[in-house]
Chains A and B, each alone.
Chain A
Amino acid sequence: MIRSNVLSRQKRVVLRRAGSIDPYNIEEYIAEDGYFALGQALGEMTPEGVLEAIKDSGLQGRGGAGFPTGLKWSFVAQQSAEKTRYIICNADESEPGTFKDRLIMEGDPHAVLEGMALAGYAVGANEGWIYIRGEYEMSRDILERAVSQAEELNLLGDDMFGSGFSFHIHVHAGAGAYVCGEETALLESLEGKRGVPRIRPPYPTVRGFRGQPTVVNNVETLANVAPIILNGSEWFRAIGTARSPGTKVYSMLGDVNVAGLIEAPMGTTLREIIELHGGGMKGGKAFKAAQTGGASGTIIPAEMLDVPLDFASMRESGAGLGSGALLICDEDTDMVDLAYVLMRFFENESCGKCTPCRVGTAQMLEALDRLRRGTARRADLERLEEIAKYVGVSSFCGLGQAAPVPILTALRYFREEFESRLRH
């Protein structure tokens, strides 16, 4: 046998149906209690009741920032009654090394639709949009089919469950741009424009899609909603940690024996994830570093293997959970080369709107290239660090603010390695 216990060790809330049901058949979702949360909510709960349940559950946004979902919804629910409200599902999963949302959409599309309808009911929105990245053709196809199957059964559409509540969902494909994962850039793109970020505030909860109050939630966040309504907030709070209840889906890659998607309670440590779910380090080599949260994530050393992975604990340790991508690097990893490849990504994806990001990423890439080739001098390294700090604080949006994070954290923990590559 290849190995054992890979799945049974996981705590699957969001992924419980992915890889077991046929995503093209709505009946399989219903057979496993699908749409029961929506039916119960529309029949037995008030919109305020749904909102309270999500607030009480302590659910935090799974897109990376960890903002309390219930609070975000309440900002939209508070807006004046004449305003049209929208629910947007951010399915522009483009963070390198992250593919959790794709797996949810491809494996259990109705979980996302049900979460959106519940969100709509809670905040008084009758229209939802899924903004899906242009490269995810299969996800788009599956979601479109799921929407039409749900409409056929009137699980979406007008007067659902005879409650008078109506909710319609549109699937919209992007055309290739990382920056559109940033919520205001996403809204611009959804309105048919260049995907450049807007100034915040006003936040989308006040002025979002078409200038109206808008909830923008990540796929994984929305997939958590129906289970919470069905099982109650206390059930949810019993999973994970007090400050970050529930589970987190990780995409683990790199030098571990078993790469792939893992769902574990919040607060599980990186060491446990590597040992228990990843089957240990590949070839028995030593762990050197991990990048948590995708290309814009922090690089952490072995001393941090036992920090609980949840939003608050990671933040306190100067790291971030981000999108849940975990790139595991063994002792042979060349940190300078890794930093170079990461910066190449940002230099390529910078939208060009603001100077710090547009010019800064190019200059950092150049410095890293010289370091990689062994032609950099000490002044280059100092300049790299200075530019990195500058770009981080002065960029317009999250892309530029996050671009220096891997470089700065790599320098914090692996400075000798960068210095050893200097030309004297």
Chain B
Amino acid sequence: MEEVLAATDRVIDAHKADREALVEILREVNDENGHLTRDDLQRIAERTNLPLSEVYSVASFYSLISLEPLGRHVIRLCQDAPCHVAGGREVREALEHELGIPFGETTLDEQWSLLTTSCIGACAVGPVMMVDNDIFGNLTPEKAREIIARYREADVQDVTPTPQGG
């Protein structure tokens, strides 16, 4: 357990366990592990001297902090009006179809999570989506499928067995 929480402790240390930095601590631990576990929340609560309920309440408030494990890649499609009128609805359907899950869910193989986001300010090249931290614009159903294929291909190359010690 201590080992698992080492990264969490590092983030807390970097912010000197400052209560005012709670949102940043939560976000950084989240970005490190993809989501926050109960143990993370517990540790953050202890070290910032806050009740666990308060840490949980802050964590659950923000959309970029997740209390559930997400997939290896997270798609966030903008669903606001400018993207919607530029063809966002078709892209939405194409993504659901391609990944076989509705929005808000993660694929069984834990490779993909499909989420929505509010406007990311790239409206003139809408519809747009974020895949992890990268933004893709001028989407069409075909282009969205292509992007997923590109990530899938890169992942396969990643896991190609390489000589490993120990």
List residues of chain A with CB under 8 Å of any chain B CB: 93-99, 102, 134-137, 172-178, 189-195, 251, 253-254, 259-261, 291, 295, 327, 329, 333, 338, 341-342, 344-345, 348-349, 351
The listed residue (A98, A134, A254) touching B62 by CB distance below 8 A is A134
C-alpha gap A195/B61 in the complex (Å): 8
In the complex, whether B23 has a CB less than 8 A from a CB of chain A is yes
Q: Say which one of B94-102, B114-122, B154-162 lies at the interface with A.
A: B114-122
CB distance from A19 to the nearest CB of B (A): 13
CA A178 – CA B61 in complex, angstroms?
A: 11
A134 is contacted by which of B27, B123, B126 (Cβ under 8 Å)? B27
Chain B, range 22-72, C-beta contacts under 8 Å to A: 22-24, 26-27, 57-58, 61-65
B145 within 8 A of A: no
B80 touching A254 by the CB < 8 A rule? no
Partner-A contacts on B (CB < 8 A): 18-24, 26-27, 57-58, 61-65, 79-82, 84-86, 117-124, 126, 130, 133
Chain B residues closer than 8 Å to A327, beta-carbon distance: 81-82, 85
Neighbouring B residues of A174 by C-beta, 8 Å = 23, 62
- B residues less than 8 Å from A99 (CB atoms): 121-124
For the complex, what is the distance from the CA of A99 to the CA of B57, rounded to whole Å? Answer: 30
Contact B63 A259 (CB under 8 A): no
In angstroms, Cα B120 to Cα A136, docked, is 7
Contact yes or no, A97 B118, CB < 8 A = no
Select one of B23, B81, B84, B122 contacting A189, CB under 8 A.
B23
CA distance A341 to B85 in the complex (A): 9
Closest to A348 in B: B118
Which residue on chain A has the smallest CB distance to residue B27? Answer: A175
Smallest CB gap from B81: residue in A: A341
Whole-angstrom distance between the alpha carbons of A93 and B80 in the complex?
Answer: 14
What residue in chain A is nearest B64 (Cβ atoms)?
A176
How many angstroms from the CA of A178 to the CA of B22 in the assembled complex? 19
The complex places the Cα of A196 from the Cα of B82 at a distance, in Å, of 26
Given the contacts A327-B82, A338-B81, A192 and B20 also touching, CB distance less than 8 Å: yes
